[in-house]
């Protein structure tokens, strides 16, 4: 199947550099592998149940989304224990330390991924069963 995507030039350039360094045969192969990794991460996230302790980290352009991000964080204060924030030029890095139901942490992760001004969201489940 052929398809097309709109991806910023700098991301494509970096992606091309990485797959060539890994000596993959072509960009299509690298895209397939990246898509499979994305699917696996999504599946693990969907399969996680019960109470969890987790770290949700994301980077974003402060001026684009700060008000909306704070509103989302207030909606999930039942699972967010604390936050850490640092400025990196026009980008900010935020870490949310969470404890609660896997479903609520998953919802929070998906909400953060839905912002155009958020570049990446990474979730690390530290424990999948809180004692």
What is the pTM assigned to this prediction? 0.77
What is the secondary structure of 62-96 as a DSSP string?
HHHHHHHHHHHHHHTTTTEEEEEEEEETTEEEEEE
Residue-by-residue pLDDT tens, the chain, 131 positions: 888 888 889 889 999 999 999 998 899 999 999 888 888 888 888 888 899 999 999 999 888 788 898 999 999 999 999 999 999 888 899 999 999 999 999 999 999 999 888 999 999 998 755 55
Q: Say what percent of the chain tops pLDDT 70.
A: 96
| Per-residue model confidence as pLDDT tens digits over 61-96 | 888 788 898 999 999 999 999 999 999 888 899 999
């Amino acid at each position: 199947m052929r398809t097309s995507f709109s991806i910023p030039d700098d991301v494509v350039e970096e992606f091309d550099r990485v797959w060539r360094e890994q000596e993959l045969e072509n960009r299509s192969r690298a895209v397939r592998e990246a898509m499979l990794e994305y699917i696996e991460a999504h599946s693990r996230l969907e399969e996680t149940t019960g109470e969890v302790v987790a770290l949700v980290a994301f980077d974003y352009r402060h001026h684009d989304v700060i008000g909306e991000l704070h509103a989302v964080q207030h909606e999930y204060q039942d699972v967010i224990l604390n936050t850490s924030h640092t400025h990196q030029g026009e980008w900010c890095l935020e870490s949310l330390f969470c404890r609660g139901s896997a479903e609520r942490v998953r919802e929070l992760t998906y909400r953060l991924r839905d912002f155009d001004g958020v570049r990446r969201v990474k979730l690390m489940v530290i424990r999948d069963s809180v004692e």
